[in-house]
Amino acid sequence: MKQKVLEGFEKVFGKNDDVKAYFAPGRVNLIGEHTDYNGGHVFPCALTIGTYGAAVQRNDRKIRLFSMNFENSKVEEASLDNLDGARGAGWIAYPVGVVWAFAQRGFKPETGFDLVIYGNIPNGSGLSSSASLEVLTGFILRDLYGFDVTNQDLALIGQYSENNFNGCNCGIMDQFAVAMGKESNAIFLDTADLSFDYAPIALKGCKIVIANTNKKHKLTDSAYNERRSACEKALSELQQVVDIKGLGDLSIEEFEAHKDAIKDDDRRIKAKHAVYENQRTIEAVDALKAGDLEKFGKLMNASHVSLRDDYDVTGVELDTLAEEAWKIPGVIGSRMTGGGFGGCTVSIVKDEAIDEFKEKVGKAYREKIGYDATFYIVEIGGGPTVL
């Protein structure tokens, strides 16, 4: 991939001896969905698929960007003197948004750069292609201009740019998982204070299998922001009767004791998901650390049911993939991952059942939905790097 992106750079911008190649991973969340903006716990891991970049500094104020992922792609331009001009300008709003977010922190590049990117994360899959591109851009900026920022800063800057430049009110999980990834480990992250530890993933004869609905989703669509808004309103109502900073502060018992403070049925059920999912995630990580993969799988399944019935973010495509997976004896657990409304499921599948899983789930999906799902066996990788 390094060679591919370097050759892509030379083809678009010409030969340059100073060009360097970079990589930032995608991520999958094993459990803990829609908890990250509610001050709860999440359990993502970085993947070995992600976004590659080749970049070099310029000696003027131009930013030139090219993606190898789109047919008939052309060089897109932005200027350090008018970063706001890239708002809403398609994919380039993500890297330019990161430059803007760096500037908000006082890290202002004096000169622009040329950047070619190539991603092997399926577009719209919910495996965090946007966070991968944001962290990649931040990592490149740090390397090119010597900015004094940590990988954790890169996550926060990426989230800030997505919230404030691209208009998606996402939590911190995606950028954090991408920036802080560690090979063979998932990250048990408390989004309330960003305390975390790495948990080794020992799958003992199983693999992580991603099933892509191939239904495109876009998180800046209103449904995601509506869910977040409902949780924020529910939190403010609960804060009238209990001293909490986020829904993640509540145990299930505390939520049940105080839930009547939430005046709207829909808000109450959305808040219920956030509280119950947070507790499920804590329990799931304990189970994994104890080597109880079966219990971890059951909690994954329960997570999907809650996302389907309470949070209402799955849809027929994701439900079909998860529900068909549950029928197969060699599937330990299966659930939607990411924001929902399309994207992917993540399943833990015994090695000997992978072919049956792909065949049976794929056939049922095609018959019900009318087009194919795509399956990927993925490995857990590390964070951003210079190649």
CA–CA separation, 283 vs 40, rounded Å? Answer: 13
Picking from 174, 188, 86, the residue whose alpha carbon sits closest to that of residue 130 is 174
Looking at this protein, which amino acid is placed at residue 157?
I
DSSP output for 109-124: -SS-EEEEEEE-SPTT
DSSP states along 225-238: HHHHHHHHHHHHHH
**90 burial via Cβ count (<10 Å: 0-12, 13-18, 19+):** exposed
| CA–CA distance, 212 with 174 (Å, rounded to integer) | 18
Annotate 241-304 with DSSP letters as a single string: TS--SSGGG--HHHHHHHGGGS-SHHHHHHHHHHHHHHHHHHHHHHHHHTT-HHHHHHHHHHHH
Task: Give the single-character DSSP code of 380.
Answer: B
pLDDT tens, position by position, for the chain (387 residues)? 999 999 999 999 999 999 999 999 999 999 999 998 999 999 999 999 999 999 999 999 999 999 999 888 999 999 999 999 999 888 999 999 999 999 999 999 999 999 999 999 876 666 778 999 999 999 999 999 999 999 999 999 999 999 999 988 888 999 999 999 999 999 999 999 999 999 999 888 999 999 999 986 555 467 888 999 999 999 999 999 999 999 999 999 999 999 999 999 999 999 999 999 999 999 999 999 999 999 999 999 999 999 999 999 999 999 999 999 999 999 999 999 988 888 899 999 999 999 999 999 999 999 999 999 999 999 899 999 999
Give this prediction's pTM.
0.90
Q: Are strands 44-57 and 113-119 parallel, antiparallel or unpaired?
A: antiparallel
Fold topology of 1-220+293-387: Ribosomal Protein S5; domain 2 (3.30.230)
Measured between alpha carbons, how far is 1 from 120 in angstroms, rounded to an integer?
A: 9
Q: Where are the alpha helices (DSSP H) in the chain?
A: 2-13, 93-104, 129-145, 151-164, 173-179, 222-238, 252-258, 265-289, 293-309, 316-326, 354-369
**pLDDT at residue 56, rounded to an integer:** 98
Strands 62-67, 76-79: pairing kind: antiparallel
Catalytic residues: 174
3-class SS of residue 344? strand
> Measuring CA to CA, which residue among 306, 193, 324 is closest to residue 249?
193
